[in-house]
Amino acid sequence: MKAYINKKPYDFEEGESILSVARRNGIFIPSLCHFAPLGHRPATCRVCLVQVTDATGTRMVTACDTPLSEGLVVDTFSKKVRDMQRMQVEMILADHHQDCAACARHGNCELQDLAEAVGLSRNRFANLLQKPAASRTVDQSARAMVRDMTKCIRCLRCVTVCRNIQGVAALTVDGKGLGASIGVGMAPDHHSSACIQCGQCTLVCPTGALAERDENDLVLDYLADPDVTTVFSFAPSVRVLLGDEFGFPAGTNVEGKIVAALRAIGADVIIDTDFAADVVIMEEGTELLGRVSNGGTLPMFTSCCPGWINFAEKHIPEILPYISTTRSPQGVLGALAKNYLPVQMQIPPSRIKTISIMPCIAKKDEAARSQLARNGDPDVDVVISVREFARLLRRLGVDLFTIPPEPFDNPFMSASTGAAVIFGTTGGVMEAAVRTVYAILNGRELQGIITAPLRGLDGVRTAELDLGPKVGKVKLAICHGLRNARILAEEVLRGTSPYTFIEVMACPGGCIDGGGSSIVKGQYHPERARRQQSLYTMDDNMVYRQSHNNPQIKALYNNYLEKPNSDLAHHLLHTHYRDRREQTSAGIEENMRKITLAE
């Protein structure tokens, strides 16, 4: 089939949109709400206007949701098209927060790009609106993120990612007219809503309407306080994520540069979340073997991912007994930084402030859990995402690109293994656990490194592994994206799950595409494969591949914890969960008042 765009003929398939054919052929049509990676096409922004002519006449249509038809004549560039595209953006901006400079997305905003694309040169309407954007909700109640509806342009991408990728469906469309914006369902505020704060919505939001809570000023306060000993750490994936923000090719390992940058900004102690990941394997692996040999609750789910824990607590609490009680690497790191490290380094624990750099924003919420605090003092004092850390370095004038790399030097909590570093990708926790569990069970290392079928990017991957004569063959499952996690969890609750151990990472791809990772405008997880490969390459090049062979791990158990799952280990490194499912209900009559429609 053939149609004409700007007078040139193009082939197309039945049902294809004007926008997709134009894009395929390199014809630019400005757009905003459309989000191709998720097939999201709400047609709400009305910016991708084109003029079409067929037998019935000439009219303006939106290119995203209008199919090409045989012989259709499309004009993407006439004066009328350009004028109407420009007025559309002028209208969107009139109903948008007016102070760009104060926004986290300043310079990285799709609406700013769009204004440039349509040649916006004036702002006639903002002052004419009696209900300005500034009157909409700014919800600060959630620990990890801010829902700033003054910046919402109603593209609804967040709603789609929350539903289709995560299966959480916490986000709703509320209000009407100029008051329409993204809400949190029947919940009174964001914190108490069904939102699990995974932050995937912040990766697709074109503006700053859904964004991480920026806590850099707290970090700066700690750095500036002479009575505080700052203990910085960063997660496995951070070393393959941060480079993006400073011009490195995607997936570049910038571990040494991060260490150097942290020293440059005045960090007192720099330790590695990798080390804590190895501790997690020791504890979780031992816990798993205990459950297997003592008839404990199986299958066991991993517990590293706070998005998953929030999901389990809020959406499917029946699954909580199946989740490992081992704290996440961040939780382990915080406990050891405030208990083990002070003993080893002779620092008063009360001076220590732990600052965790994460690919994740749900880790902010995790750090605030009462279960992860002692006498009201949280084990992790502040969590900043990769995006915030990049901003922090820019604020402090540190250019990651040019700074020479430096090694870790902490003798107690900075050694890493290949097992630890792959925690950053889906399948990594499982792979690391298999290496150590096999060795504990059989008294010898697994021959070679088992990769297939644990590696890959399919949403659910399963494998059967022979763990040796004591346990025999076990079935394992790995999933990422909570929609997949729900499927596996429901299977467990039905009693039909064949698995012994299940790894869950809330974000698709795992931490390498965490809700705190870099935003690539208009794309969804474009660098996943490179980031994942980079972690695997680091694993390949490590001196130690297994958590139990990490010399600092051996020292930790020999000198302090005695053995995995010891009383002290339980006290410091394990946690518990609680049912936080919201039992919402509303009276019919009281709900009538919420209907936004004249009777």
Partner 1 sequence: MPELVYGVWDGVPYDNRKTASPSAPPSLQLEALGSFDDGNAVSVLMSERGFLVFDDSVALLWALQKHFMKVASESCGKCSPCRTGAPLISNLLAKAMNNEADVDFGLLEDIARQMQETSLCGVGQTGPAPLLAALSFFPGELSKTPQDMKHGFYSTMTSPCIEACPGLVNIPRYIDYIKDGHVDLSANLVLRHYPLVGSCGRVCVRSCESACRRGKIDAPVSIRNLKRFAADKALASGLLKAAAVPLDKKEKVAVIGAGPVGIACAYHLLRRGYPVDIFEAKKEAGGMIRYGIPIYRLPKDTLQEEIAIVTSMGGKIAFEQKLGRDFHVDDLFAKGYNAVFLAMGCPKGSYLGMPDEDTSLTDYENGIDFLERVYEGVKAGKSPVLEGDVVVVGGGNVAMDCCRAAQRICNGTVHVIYRRTEEDAPADHEEIAAAKAEGVQFHFLTGQHSLLTDQGKITGIKVLDMERTEPDASGRRGVRPIEGSEHVLPCTHVIAAIGQMTDKDALVDKDQINRDRKNCIVVNSAQETNRPGVFAAGDCTSGPRAKGPTTMIMGMGQAYFAARSIERYLSHGQVSFDSRWRMTELIAQGNLMQNDEPTPKIPASRVELKELAPEERRHNFAEVEQTMTQEEAWAEAARCMRCYRIYSVVTAKHIPGGE
Min separation Cβ 433 and partner 1, Å: 33
- Which residue in the set 2, 8, 106, 124 belongs to the binding site for partner 1 (CB under 8 A)? 124
- Which residue in the set 63, 74, 76, 88 belongs to the binding site for partner 1 (CB under 8 A)? 88
Q: What are the angstrom distances between the C-alpha of 241 and each of 246, 344, 474? A: 10, 31, 34
Verify binding: residue 595, partner 1, rule CB under 8 A: yes
What is the pattern of x (binds partner 1, CB under 8 A) and - over residues 185-214?
Answer: xx----------------------------
Min separation Cβ 174 and partner 1, Å: 7
Contact, 80 vs 51, CB < 8 A?
yes
Angle CA 144–493–197, to nearest 5: 5
Min separation Cβ 87 and partner 1, Å: 5
Piece of the chain touching partner 1 by CB under 8 A; list 52-60, 263-271, 455-463, 543-551: 52-60
Q: Which 11-50 residues touch partner 1, going by CB under 8 A? A: 15, 17, 42-47, 49
Verify binding: residue 67, partner 1, rule CB under 8 A: yes
* 572 CB-contact burial (10 Å; exposed 0-12 / middle 13-18 / buried 19+): buried
Verify binding: residue 125, partner 1, rule CB under 8 A: yes
Cis amide bond preceding 453, omega within 30? yes
Min separation Cβ 361 and partner 1, Å: 22
DSSP letter for each residue of 242-310? GGGGGTPPTT---HHHHHHHHHHTT-SEEEEHHHHHHHHHHHHHHHHHHHHHHT-SSSEEP---HHHHH
Q: Record the tokens describing residue 580, joined without a space.
A: 């936080």
Residue among 163 and 351 whose Cβ is closer to partner 1: 163
What is the pattern of x (binds partner 1, CB under 8 A) and - over residues 152-181?
Answer: -xx-x--x---x-----x-xxxxxxxxxx-
Contact, 310 vs 484, CB < 8 A?
no
Residue among 153 and 390 whose Cβ is closer to partner 1: 153
* 62 CB-contact burial (10 Å; exposed 0-12 / middle 13-18 / buried 19+): buried
Tell me how far apart the alpha carbons of residues 447 and 455 are, in angstroms, rounded to a whole number.
Answer: 17
- Which residue in the set 61, 300, 434, 474 belongs to the binding site for partner 1 (CB under 8 A)? 61
Contact, 34 vs 101, CB < 8 A?
no
Contact, 448 vs 565, CB < 8 A?
no
Helix axes 273-294, 329-345, angle to 10 degrees: 110
Residue among 444 and 494 whose Cβ is closer to partner 1: 494
Min separation Cβ 172 and partner 1, Å: 3
- Which residue in the set 36, 73, 87, 120 belongs to the binding site for partner 1 (CB under 8 A)? 87
Min separation Cβ 89 and partner 1, Å: 8
Which residues would be at the binding site for partner 1 (CB under 8 A)? 15, 17, 42-47, 49, 56, 59-62, 65-67, 69, 84, 87-88, 91-92, 94-95, 124-125, 128-131, 153-154, 156, 159, 163, 169, 171-180, 185-186, 584-589, 591-592, 594-595, 597-599
